[in-house]
Amino acid sequence: MRAIVLLLALWFSAQASAATSVAAVRVWPAPEYTRVTIETDRQVNYKVFSLDKPDRLVIDLYHTRLGAELEELPSKVTADDSFVSGARVGQFKPGVTRVVLELRQTVNAEHFIIKPIGAYGHRLVVDIFPAVPVDPILALLEASGAAAPAESTPPPQSVEPVPKEILVVAIDAGHGGEDPGAIGRRGTKEKDVTLAIARDLKALIDKQPNMRGVLIRDDDYFVKLSKRVEKARKVRADLFVSIHADAFIKPQARGSSVFALSERGATSAAARWLAVKENEADLIGGVNIDVEDITLKQVLLDLSQTATINESLKLARSVLAEIGQINKLHKPHVEQAGFAVLKAPDIPSILVETAFLTNPAEERKLRGRRYQRKVANAVMEGIKRYFADNPLLVRGELALN
Ligand SMILES: [Zn+2]
């Protein structure tokens, strides 16, 4: 009997000391939502609920130590955050550590757990959206200064192809926020390189009298892959260009590549491997897999996909030819694989791997503004060449919807 009591006492004390520790806290403000990530050493038990007058969001963490990492949360809320104005943390009662987020407006919160992946441990993700969702078209157009699209597509007036007045190029800076992408030996993050090049490319495109660049993300935050495609379609983009930097286990691998979507299978094992790795962005960046939409699957059934891929290949060849002028090419031809971000059924889409971040010499180049501008310039020239060779028809000619 005494032994049992002793064992029980030991068991209870072991449970008491088995408190969850917070390893890191991150806050990612973005135009459409703010994400708060609490990374822990084990899966945390938690509850999220909201309070009003004033609007607050409460995150109760059970059996979680109130350590230095969590106490830093209030200092991580920035003045430019559209949704969160401040934060407090404290020991609410024994066994409950409470985080209170003060809100600028009434919000909808989505919360979910991500199991360890990549460099991350267990993550509790709380995404804070406005109660009235931001109109992505208006937000993108306001941010990019582009003209508003027509309310509806008028049917073509004649059978003659009509050149479109303003060509919209969606520029997708790969990765962002929780998802750093590849990381070079000197610590260069792919998400920073891609954003710098994307901004350069937008500036070049906007200088063209008949073109407008729209950034899919214009800061350091996570956008899931299907959302990137959706945004490009909402702004009625004529082209979609996704900017990335490559990585490989061997530091010798180098050179630039340009990819298009493949309908069936990849053109090489390396291309397949790369597509799998790039598609992992959603897992690392963090999506709620319980509610993950099926848009992409539906979209793939679209009959216009083959025509779009043919256009994508033309664009990819034009861009590859220009990039070949500024860097060694990893492969002398365009490759194809199942990249999720290239799956818009009606927008020619390419993915540019600008160079290898895992190659020390190329990492040095990718860090520098000179090479970043050169890449942007080469992509711009490739786009111009594509448009010159393939005068764009009224959108209704290509899209079947
Ligand atoms: Zn990437």
Per-residue model confidence as pLDDT tens digits over 45-97: 999 999 999 999 999 999 999 999 999 999 999 999 999 999 999 999 999 99
Residue 246 alpha carbon to ligand 1 centre in Å: 6
Residue 293 has pLDDT above 70, yes or no: no
pLDDT class of 174 with cuts at 50, 70, 90: very high
pLDDT class of 265 with cuts at 50, 70, 90: confident
Residue 106 alpha carbon to ligand 1 centre in Å: 35
Per-residue model confidence as pLDDT tens digits over 40-54: 999 999 999 999 999
Residue 158 has pLDDT above 50, yes or no: no
Residue 164 alpha carbon to ligand 1 centre in Å: 32
Residue 182 alpha carbon to ligand 1 centre in Å: 7
Q: Are strands 22-29 and 34-40 parallel, antiparallel or unpaired?
A: antiparallel
Strand partners, 189: 183
Residue 258 alpha carbon to ligand 1 centre in Å: 12
Residue 355 alpha carbon to ligand 1 centre in Å: 11
Residue 181 alpha carbon to ligand 1 centre in Å: 5
Q: What is the pLDDT of residue 287?
A: 84
Residue 175 alpha carbon to ligand 1 centre in Å: 6
Residue 243 alpha carbon to ligand 1 centre in Å: 8
pTM of the prediction?
Answer: 0.85
Residue 2 alpha carbon to ligand 1 centre in Å: 61
| Strand, coil or helix: 72 | coil
Q: What is the pLDDT of residue 302?
A: 58
Tell me which range, 1-10, 84-93, 134-143, is most confidently predicted by mean pLDDT.
Answer: 84-93
Residue 38 alpha carbon to ligand 1 centre in Å: 24
Average pLDDT over the chain reads: 87
Q: Which amino acid is at 154?
A: P
Q: What is the pLDDT of residue 12?
A: 53
Per-residue model confidence as pLDDT tens digits over 274-284: 999 999 898 89
Q: What is the pLDDT of residue 151?
A: 45
Residues 6+ apart with CB under 8 A from 40: 20, 21, 22, 23, 64, 121, 122, 123, 124
Q: Are strands 167-173 and 239-246 parallel, antiparallel or unpaired?
A: parallel
Q: Which amino acid is at 208?
A: Q
Residue 287 alpha carbon to ligand 1 centre in Å: 17
Residue 168 alpha carbon to ligand 1 centre in Å: 23
Counting residues of the chain whose pLDDT is more than 70, the rounded percentage is: 82
Residue 152 alpha carbon to ligand 1 centre in Å: 34
**Eight-class DSSP state of 148:** P
Residue 282 alpha carbon to ligand 1 centre in Å: 11
Residue 103 alpha carbon to ligand 1 centre in Å: 33
Residue 387 has pLDDT above 70, yes or no: yes
Mean pLDDT value across residues 15-21:
73
| Strand, coil or helix: 393 | coil
Residue 339 alpha carbon to ligand 1 centre in Å: 11
Residue 168 has pLDDT above 50, yes or no: yes
Residue 185 alpha carbon to ligand 1 centre in Å: 16
Mean pLDDT value across residues 237-255:
95
Per-residue model confidence as pLDDT tens digits over 27-42: 999 999 999 999 999 9
Q: What is the pLDDT of residue 306?
A: 85
- What domains can be seen in the chain, in order of their start residue? 20-130 (2.60.40.3500), 136-398 (3.40.630.40)
Q: Are strands 211-215 and 167-173 parallel, antiparallel or unpaired?
A: parallel
Residue 291 has pLDDT above 70, yes or no: no
pLDDT class of 390 with cuts at 50, 70, 90: confident
Separation CA 233–CA 345 (nearest Å):
9
pLDDT class of 111 with cuts at 50, 70, 90: very high
pLDDT class of 238 with cuts at 50, 70, 90: very high
Q: What is the pLDDT of residue 9?
A: 59
Residue 176 alpha carbon to ligand 1 centre in Å: 10
